[in-house]
Amino acid sequence: MRLLLTGGCGFIGSAVVRHLIRTTAHSVVNVDKMTYAASEDALAGAGRDPRHTLLRADIADGAAMRQIFAAQQPDAVMHLAAESHVDRSIDGPGPFIQTNIVGTYVLLEAARDYAATLTPERRAAFRFHHVSTDEVFGALAPGDAPFTETTPYDPRSPYSASKAASDHLVRAWHHTYGLPSIVSNTTNNYGPWQFPEKLIPLVLLNALEGRPLPVYGDGSNQRDWIYVEDHAAALLEVLRHGTPGATYAIGARQPRSNLEVVHAICAALDARLPDPAGPRSRLISFVTDRPGHDFRYEIDPSRTEAALHWRAPHDFTTGLARTIDWYLDNRAWWEAIRAARYAGQRLGRAAA
């Protein structure tokens, strides 16, 4: 297949590109606006593969999207481009509305126009896979059953509201116009190449540098964690075997409180690089909770596992160990980002 993938220089998108180039014969047209969180470095060797093409473009630019579809003639779309940082959405929701809602609408229209030009055989095989988040479902209380594909939407932040809107648009274009679309919702991703403002790399890198480890509230907020390479593999299975109009909840059954995550990072780092000043847990600092902080997210991936014959191979302990080792081995990448872009307060904020 020839895949048009949006946001392929972002954290999850780059993992998908690497996975596709490493494990398949597909070619990838990578459309990325190259905002602050995008990194060509994250493509690694896949970025130099002749089956990968990087096009710098904004998904909200209708003329550019129509031109790309016409020139590249993709067999499927994997739509990952999004503004995704909750704290940033609280500080300034405008870019989230523009990219996540308007951008998805523009891309859907370009895909719909393009699909109408295909032969009946190619049109029947064409797919539009929209990648979303579990945050659209709102918050779980202690004891609540995890989210499933049928959980009602209840977004609480500008970020999750914008993603919920984009999910609804994708489903509407399927039911109204017959665009063969699929939606997948996943939980918190972590792993190599994650931008240093997200919780796990932020805590890890602050701990390495002896900085405070900020934890919102009392740290009891819970998230379900999936290793990003596992998620990338699952997304390809959704694209290959998913049913148009269906939703797939992708998770790894690895819930942890934020405080548990921070302590796990400290312990793993202490075991690798002991700090003469003492255990790094001494650096934990509880800070004022952010507005509208959802208490708990957790996904039940049972239906997706059964439908796709897939299950995440990494548990949190194994995935975290691989993640920490990667950041220790790739200091040049994150040190440059922290030095150039995040000398101020934003790096001191936990992001979960």
Distance CA 304, CA 202 (A): 31
Give pLDDT, residue 294: 87
pTM, entire model = 0.94
Q: What is the mean pLDDT of residues 181-202?
A: 96
Is pLDDT of 348 > 50? no
pLDDT-derived band at 339, boundaries 50, 70, 90:
confident
Q: What is the mean pLDDT of residues 216-237?
A: 97
Residue 206 located in a structural domain: no
Give pLDDT, residue 341: 63
Residue 29 located in a structural domain: yes
Q: What is the mean pLDDT of residues 77-101?
A: 94
Asked if 77 and 111 count as a contact pair (C-beta separation under 8 A), the reply is: yes
- Residue ranges making up the domain that contains 42: 2-190+226-253+296-313
pLDDT digits (tens, 9 = 90+) for 26-82: 999 999 999 988 999 999 999 999 999 999 999 999 999 999 999 999 999 999 999
Residue 53 located in a structural domain: yes
Number of residues written out for the chain: 352
List the structure tokens of 216.
């919102």
pLDDT-derived band at 171, boundaries 50, 70, 90:
very high
Give pLDDT, residue 197: 86
Q: Helix (H, G, I), strand (E, B), or coil: what is residue 247?
A: strand
Tell me how many domains the chain contains.
1
Is pLDDT of 342 > 90? no
Is pLDDT of 181 > 50? yes
Rg (CA), the chain: 20
Asked if 332 and 206 count as a contact pair (C-beta separation under 8 A), the reply is: no
Distance CA 2, CA 224 (A): 32
Q: Residue 345 — left, alpha, or beta (φ > 0 → left; ψ -120 to 50 → alpha)?
A: alpha
In this structure, which amino acid lies at residue 141? A
Residue 343 located in a structural domain: no
Q: Rounded mean pLDDT of the chain?
A: 95
Domain CATH code at residue 51: 3.40.50.720
Residue 324 located in a structural domain: no
Residue 214 located in a structural domain: no
pLDDT digits (tens, 9 = 90+) for 263-318: 999 999 999 999 999 999 999 999 998 888 889 999 999 999 999 999 999 999 99
Give pLDDT, residue 319: 98
pLDDT-derived band at 349, boundaries 50, 70, 90:
very low
Residue 27 located in a structural domain: yes
Catalytic residue numbers read: 134-135, 159
List the structure tokens of 188.
């918190």
Is pLDDT of 87 > 90? no
Residue 59 located in a structural domain: yes
Distance CA 222, CA 318 (A): 19
Burial of 341 (0-12, 13-18, 19+ CB in 10 A): middle
Task: State the CB neighbour count (10 A cutoff) for residue 216.
Answer: 21
> What percent of the chain has pLDDT above 70?
97
